[in-house]
A = this chain, B = another copy of it.
Amino acid sequence: MSDQPRVIRKQIGNFLEDFVPGAVFRHKGGKTVTDGLFTTFTEFTMTTNPLSKNARYARAYGFEGLVCPPGLVMLVAFSQTVEDVSENARANLEYIDMRFGAPVYVGDTVEVETKVLGVTPSKSRPNLGVVHVQSTARKNPGAADEAVVLTWQRKVQVWKRDESAELHPGTADPDPIECDLWLPEHDPGVDYKSMAHLSNADTYFEDFEPGTRIEHSRGRTMTSEHIQLTAVLDNTSQVHCNQYMIDLNPKQYVGGELIIFGGIPFVLCLGLSCPNVGDNAVGDLIYRTGRHTAPLFAGDTVFAATEILDKHDLVEREDLGVIETRLHGHKFVRAKEGDDPDPEAPEGWRKVPIFELDRDVVVKRRSHYG
């Protein structure tokens, strides 16, 4: 063509001035949990709960089949909100009141919508502000088994597109979302004890002691695989997969390299804790609050620890109990000259906390299952 075509560059995602308290985003795409997706993430995180690994066990416990681990439910739901809510974010500040509902199985389709609860301009930085949102994920809209699978709030620090644009500061009330963890019945006709060898013997409700901290023994080194893992989740943020963008302007990006999507250490820490905390869980009830405290890069090795904060009975379920935990993720980096010695790290290293999550887990009692 002799004429030069007119060039179009479309904006992706919203900026601070686009958020209006009370407004609702119905997110694009939706996502059917395929068997491939299920396997990729369940195994990546090294989940050891047989409900997510052994279909005969899951069915014997009253589930329809292999159960998506809570971390995978979170990732599938959360990622759908990225383009509208945080494609142009500087940082994800906090996860709040994340509650699980119906179980998610392979074949289920998850769709998500988000309500804007608040917009707060930054006092010190005119090009930034905080957006507070409430998101809810439903499975199989319109079908007989339609159900809420997850609802949560989060706060995100978002860039303005235009520093002089008018904002819509203010707040809106969260919607009251019914979202209670679905729990299978205890069936006296099932011989649970004949399957007890398939999970750990020391992770029943009776075994947890408030005031203890379990250092999970395994670590996992991340590689550039994170790019594909993030793509599998439809997370579209370029800081996770566009090295050229970073090479053009390395000083603008932490470490001058691709940052691993926060959902990855989130679920990896859940997985690393699984042999000691999640092996005999039937579900995660609520993540009260959580945050990322340092970025993660390819080459880093992730470790996790769990504090047992408290434990309590579950109403009308004498076969189960709830443990209240705080999940910690960390990595080690080489100390720089002049660093003070770190009492929590070997000589020449520093321990860097990367993630923290207050997490209530519903756990089987040995009296009924062990």
A111 within 8 A of B: yes
Hey, which bits of chain A sit against chain B, CB under 8 A? 1, 3, 5-10, 12, 26-32, 34-40, 43-44, 46, 48, 50, 53-57, 66, 106-107, 109, 111, 140-143, 197-200, 202, 209, 211-215, 217-221, 223-225, 227-228, 231-234, 236, 238, 241-245, 248, 258, 275-276, 299, 301, 303, 307-309, 331-332, 346, 349
Closest chain B CB from A58 CB (angstroms): 8
- For residue A113, which residue of chain B has the nearest CB? B197
In Å, the complex CA distance between A346 and B246 comes to 13
Contacts of A54 in B (CB 8 A): 29-32, 109, 111
Flag if A332 contacts B39 (CB, 8 Å). no
Say whether, besides A39-B37, A109-B55, A214-B8, A32 and B219 are in contact (CB < 8 Å): no
Closest chain B CB from A12 CB (angstroms): 5
Contacts of A142 in B (CB 8 A): 56
Say whether, besides A109-B54, A213-B7, A220 and B242 are in contact (CB < 8 Å): yes
Closest chain B CB from A78 CB (angstroms): 16
Closest chain B CB from A55 CB (angstroms): 4
Contacts of A46 in B (CB 8 A): 231, 234, 236
- For residue A54, which residue of chain B has the nearest CB? B30
Q: Which of A30, A211, A308, A331 has the most chain B CB within a 10 Å cutoff?
A: A30
- For residue A225, which residue of chain B has the nearest CB? B228
